[in-house]
Amino acid sequence: MTILGALFQYLLDAGYLHANPLALARRTVRIVKQNLVWAFAYNFLAIPLAMAGWVTPWMAGIGMSASSLLVVLNALRLSTASAPIESL
């Protein structure tokens, strides 16, 4: 049993296992919801402006690139910081 415990401790220290998978799952769902809200808000504003001709194609391209970059950077927060350990 000691070898198995040592293996789990090694995997936990190496970052292959998460100390609290339920907290990580909750954090993941929260970040996915944030990304969906951001994408919906951007498209809700950008599409009518583009249809009205108030946004040129190069402005729309920059806006879409910035939106995608924000979504990716928001999702990267999952890999850069560990989820807080919550009591179940």
Neighbouring residues of 86: CB distance < 8 A, sequence distance ≥ 6: 20, 22, 23, 26
pLDDT, tens only, 19-44 = 677 787 888 899 999 989 988 998 89
Rounded Cα gap, residues 75 and 55, in angstroms: 28
The pTM for the full model equals 0.64
* More confident of the two residues 2 and 54: 54
pLDDT of residue 33: 93
pLDDT, tens only, 42-73 = 889 988 998 999 998 899 889 889 988 988 99
pLDDT of residue 57: 87
Which helix (H) or strand (E) covers residue 74, if one does? helix 57-80
pLDDT for 4 beyond 90: no
CB 30 within 8 A of CB 22: no
Coil, strand or helix: which one is 88?
coil
Rounded Cα gap, residues 35 and 53, in angstroms: 27
